[in-house]
Amino acid sequence: MQKVSGLMGVLVVIFFLSSASFAYEAIEVKNGGSIEGIVEFSGGTIPQDKMQKLSSEQKYCGHQLPKEEYLIKDRKIQNVVVYIEDIKSGKAIPPEPVTLTNLKCLFVPHVAVGFKGNRFVEKNDDPIFHNIHTYIDGKTMYNIGLPEKGSTINKPLTKTGLIEVTCDSHPWMHGYLQVFDQPYATVTNAKGEFVIQDIPPGMYTIEAWHEALGKVKLTSVKVDSGKVSKIKLEYKK
């Protein structure tokens, strides 16, 4: 029994040492490189966004609002989260909180990235009641009412992963917050463009996530000191 206990102790130590070795390490990045790119839909028929009919608050919100699921112009895709996969060290995580705003009965921005250890701020800029309900892995994180214009939520981001942001008062409201434990993540703009900066030289895998189209990745992306690597990520269906 003593031998088994000793073996278990060794395994526990190895497990924790292995886990610690995978933690992201902030280092000074001198003359780092950058990755610039676009995310494009290269398949056949381009998916079209839909309008949602509103069941309440029509006096303030109107009778319909865009779903914002497919924001694609000239085949360039907006609201795609792009990040470096499994990067172990690099620049420090920025200290700024990530903010989502309830504006005209939508979440602005519709998709955002945040970083573990930072704060998540939700602001109500509407003169109506919103009830913010966030989920991660199907489980509730926060369920808090914002009763009036100027109300805010300020909570820590303690887990990595995809957070779904909803409003229990208005079922058409839906947003996403992807939380990372490293700072090399961003969201594409209206032209499908993104930039990731201050990257240590090396070879990387770049992954992209879209709420409806899923994930794509590009392997063996080389980053050189002080240089820009230009790439394109494609969704084909």
pLDDT tens sequence across 112-169: 999 999 999 999 999 999 999 999 999 999 999 999 999 999 999 999 999 999 999 9
Range(s) of the chain covered by CATH 2.60.40.420: 92-182
Asked which of 50-64, 174-188, 201-215 is least confident by mean pLDDT, the reply is: 50-64
Mean pLDDT of the 184-195 span: 99
Range(s) of the chain covered by CATH 2.60.40.1120: 28-87+184-236
- Determine how β-strand 214-223 pairs with β-strand 25-26: unpaired
Q: Is the pLDDT of residue 6 over 70?
A: no
Amino acid present at 143: N
- Judge whether 237 and 47 are in contact, CB under 8 Å: no
Q: Is the pLDDT of residue 1 over 50?
A: no
Q: Is the pLDDT of residue 13 over 50?
A: no
b/e per residue 70-109 (b: at least 16 CB within 10 A): bbbeeebbbbbbbbbeebeebbebeeeebbbbbeebbbeb
CA distance to 24, 99, 139, 180, 211, per residue, from 110 (Å)? 27, 11, 20, 17, 10
Query: What pLDDT score was predicted for residue 237?
Result: 79
Mean pLDDT of the 48-63 span: 94
Mean pLDDT of the 57-78 span: 96
Mean pLDDT of the 66-90 span: 98
- Judge whether 206 and 218 are in contact, CB under 8 Å: yes
Q: Which CATH code is given to the segment(s) 28-87+184-236? A: 2.60.40.1120
Distance (Å, whole) CA 214 – CA 69 = 12
DSSP class of residue 212 equals T
Q: Is the pLDDT of residue 17 over 50?
A: no
Q: Which CATH code is given to the segment(s) 92-182? A: 2.60.40.420
Q: What average pLDDT does the chain have?
A: 92
Amino acid present at 199: I
